[in-house]
Structure 1
Amino acid sequence: MSKGKVLVLGSNATRIETKGGYWGDTGQYLNETVVPAMALVDAGYEVVLATPDGTPPTIDRASDAAAHFGGDVAAYERAKDFYANDPSMKARTLRSILEEGLDHYVGLHIPGGQAPIVDLMQDQEIGEILRHFHERSKPTAMLCHGPISAVAAMPFAREFRAALIAGDPDKAREWAKGWQYAGYQMTVFSKTEEKVIEDTILHAQIYFDMPFALNLAGGIVSTTPVDFDPFVVEDRELITGQNPRSDHPIAKALIAALDRKHVAA
Structure 2
Amino acid sequence: MARKILIVLTSHKELGNSGKPTGWYLPELAHPYDIFKAADYEMTFASPLGGVAPLDPGSVEAFAQDASSVSFVQNHAALWENTAKLSSFLGKADEFDALFYPGGHGPMFDLAVDADSQQLIAEFVAKGKVVSAVCHGPAVFVNVALPGTGEPLLKGKEVTGFSNVEEDQAQKTEYMPFLLEDRLNEVSGGKYVKAAEPWGVKVVVDGKLITGQNPASAHGVGEAIVKAVG
Q: TM-score, normalization: structure 1? A: 0.78
Counterpart of 1:210 in structure 2 is: 180
Cα distance in 2 for residues equivalent to 1:186 and 1:82: 33
Higher helix share: 1
Counterpart of 2:217 in structure 1 is: 246
Counterpart of 2:4 in structure 1 is: 5
Cα distance in 1 for residues equivalent to 2:81 and 2:216: 21
Shift of 1:185: 0.2
33-42 or 119-128: which moved more? 33-42
SS of equivalent to 1:185: coil
Q: Percent identity?
A: 28
Counterpart of 1:68 in structure 2 is: 63
Counterpart of 2:115 in structure 1 is: 124
Alignment pair present for 1:186 and 2:179: no
Shift of 1:102: 1.9
Paired residues for 1:83-232 under 5 Å: 83-85=76-78, 90-98=82-90, 101-154=92-145, 178-198=151-171, 202=172, 204-219=174-189, 220-232=191-203
Shift of 1:184: 0.3
Shift of 1:193: 0.2
Shift of 1:24: 4.1
Cα distance in 2 for residues equivalent to 1:43 and 1:130: 23
Q: Is the 8 A contact 2:158 2:188 kept in 1?
A: no
1:81–1:24 CA distance, 2 compared to 1 (3 A): closer
SS of equivalent to 1:7: strand
Q: Is the 8 A contact 1:55 1:92 kept in 2?
A: yes
Q: Is the 8 A contact 2:142 2:183 kept in 1?
A: no
1:202-222 CA deviation, whole Å, 9 max, x = no partner?
A: 484424211101122235101
Q: Which has the larger radius of gyration?
A: 1
Cα distance in 1 for residues equivalent to 2:122 and 2:68: 35
Counterpart of 1:173 in structure 2 is: none
Cα distance in 2 for residues equivalent to 1:134 and 1:90: 26
Runs of 4+ in 1 over 2 A off after TM superposition: 22-25, 74-77, 202-208
Q: TM-score, normalization: structure 2? A: 0.89
Alignment pair present for 1:46 and 2:45: no
1:7-64 CA deviation, whole Å, 9 max, x = no partner?
A: 001110012336xxx5543211011112212321220110001001112321111210
Give unmatched runs, 5+ long, in structure 1: 156-176, 260-265
SS of equivalent to 1:16: coil
Counterpart of 1:31 in structure 2 is: 27
1:161-215 CA deviation, whole Å, 9 max, x = no partner?
A: xxxxxxxxxxxxxxxx7212211001000000001122xxx48442421110112
SS of equivalent to 2:211: strand
How many correspondences in the alignment?
226
Cα distance in 2 for residues equivalent to 1:238 and 1:203: 26
SS of equivalent to 1:192: helix
Give unmatched runs, 5+ long, in structure 2: none
